[in-house]
Homo-oligomer: A and B are copies of this chain.
Amino acid sequence: MPATPAVPDGKRPTLADVAALAGVSTALVSIVMREAKGASAATRERVLEAAREIGYRPDSRARLLRSNRSRLLGVQFGLQHPFHTDLVEGIYAAAESAGYQVALSAVAPSRSERQAVETLLGDRCEALILLGPQAPAARLAELSAQLPVVSVVRRLRPPAAGVDVVRTADDEGARQAVDHLVALGHRDIAHVDGGKAPGAADRRRGYRTAMNRHGLAGRARVLPGGLTEEDGATAARALLDARPRPTAVLAFNDRCATGVLDAFLRARVPVPDEISVVGFDNSHLARLAHIDLTTVGQDASRLAELAVGRAVARLEGEKRSGTETVIAPHLVTRGTTAAPPEGIKPVVRD
């Protein structure tokens, strides 16, 4: 029965218990547990055996308290944001292979960003990775004076303040989507935007300049949207009544796009036959066979990797801060985009 608590008194076993059993000093046990050098193979085995026997498990608090490095990365994410969970997963992987641990702190309706960051700080994280933070730039700058801070999907206007930014080129993504649609023959392309969400402004701008470049400035239409399905659906209903009705819609988000899609389906407007839809994020949602959404891909695992990379670089002594790393998005063409319907196509300028 090797799985019993194993130490006589109810307490959790410590280094000292292992040391006593193995007949060595606590320091040596520490060496063995850390896999540091300074112990012979024979005693190493003996100590490990003793540890196993009494079910010893290192106390990370004490460990972190003593060592000047905590090797802990604090990650703040939005509980209800699917794209964040993709990022978190990537961060776990990247952190592990860089030899760091991850402390998670969620933001939810009942839990503010301030609270989330506060606990991370209390846990002695060495750096902060904030996914789409909404906090004012001044607050981020303040934090950044205490430890390395990486903002992941949120752009900061003046790259100052020492906050490192890792993000996708949102404007470029919007441009790619518009180019794709125009190449298919669309001219009346509407954009359902993301309001004040991180990245929304850039996508809006990218959409507008792309429309301009194609000489379609007059036909550009931006509808107030948001990041939920509901936002997309209400915007889509408005579009159905609009004259001329657009032949394509670029949504802020995959979630938003799903809402658009759903509203069109309910109104019996076939996609992509009558109208094309493009999303943004290439989330799990979009990949699903029955949604099969053309979307602008943000490479979550690459963003995660870069964010961790920046944080680690700063921790390992790199002085340069306030950098901005922008990665290129890439259009993923799937089933929700096609040429506009015949009846409308002739409108295309010769």
Which positions 99-144 of chain A face chain B at CB distance < 8 Å?
101, 103-106, 108-111, 119, 121-124, 142
B residues less than 8 Å from A80 (CB atoms)? 85, 284
Query: Which of B101, B124, B284 has a CB less than 8 Å from the CB of A60?
Result: B124
**A contacts with B, residue count (CB < 8 A):** 54
Cβ contacts A59-88/B at 8 Å (1 or 0 each): 111101100001000000001101001001
A256 to B309, CA, bound (A): 37
Considering only CB atoms, which chain B residue lies closest to A2 in the complex? B142
Considering only CB atoms, which chain B residue lies closest to A81 in the complex? B85
Contact B110 A229 (CB under 8 A): no
Which positions 12-27 of chain A face chain B at CB distance < 8 Å?
12
B residues less than 8 Å from A5 (CB atoms)? 145-146
Contact A104 B104 (CB under 8 A): yes
Given contacts A61-B65, A229-B290, A262-B290, contact A109 B89 (CB under 8 A): yes
Which positions 231-260 of chain A face chain B at CB distance < 8 Å?
233, 259
Please tell me if A159 contacts chain B, counting CB pairs below 8 Å.
Answer: no
Q: List 9 A-B contacts (CB under 8 A).
A: A59-B124, A60-B122, A61-B64, A80-B85, A89-B110, A92-B111, A228-B288, A229-B288, A265-B266
- A sample of 12 more A-B contacts (CB under 8 A), given A89-B106, A92-B110, A228-B288, is A3-B142, A5-B145, A59-B122, A65-B65, A79-B85, A89-B109, A92-B106, A92-B111, A101-B119, A230-B288, A230-B289, A233-B288
